[in-house]
Amino acid sequence: MTDENQMIVVSKAILTLLNKWLITDKDQCELLGIDCATLGKVKLGGTALPAHSMPNAAGLLNVHKSLRLLYSQNSELLYGWISMKNDNLQGQSPLKIMKNGVGGIKEIEAYLSNSLSR
């Protein structure tokens, strides 16, 4: 599999995840650091997310991996936690924090990692 094909596979996986999280297209663009025209092209298939969005995509997949470990028996939390306000995050939803870019995604990754280590 070529690098481009691998990036297309990752792109499809991240878009599937964002849809399962019920994230709007506008928020998907913010999370991935891309414009909505680019998102539209990726959704049509045959093209990958731009390389500059891959750190965001990788972080989002890591967030999902942690959520699967924490909430494997509860699909409502597994897919809904991202949008739920959280007292441990100063009343903000993880989605709101992650829309701040890679730093916000890393903050949520760290929060979940800490939750897993308890």
Instruction: Indicate yes or no: pTM above 0.95.
Output: no
Domain count within the chain: 1
Say how far apart CA 110 and CA 74 lie, in whole Å: 21
CB contact at 8 A, 104 and 98:
yes
Q: What is the DSSP letter of 86?
A: B
Domain that holds residue 58: 3-116
Helix (H, G, I), strand (E, B) or coil at 92: strand
Q: pLDDT tens digits for 68-103?
A: 999 999 999 999 999 999 999 999 999 999 999 999
Residue 11: predicted pLDDT: 95
Q: pLDDT tens digits for 11-69?
A: 999 999 999 999 999 999 999 999 999 999 999 988 999 999 999 999 999 999 999 99
Using DSSP, how many helices (H) and how many strands (E) does the chain show?
7, 0
Angle between helices 54-71 and 102-116 (to 10 degrees): 20
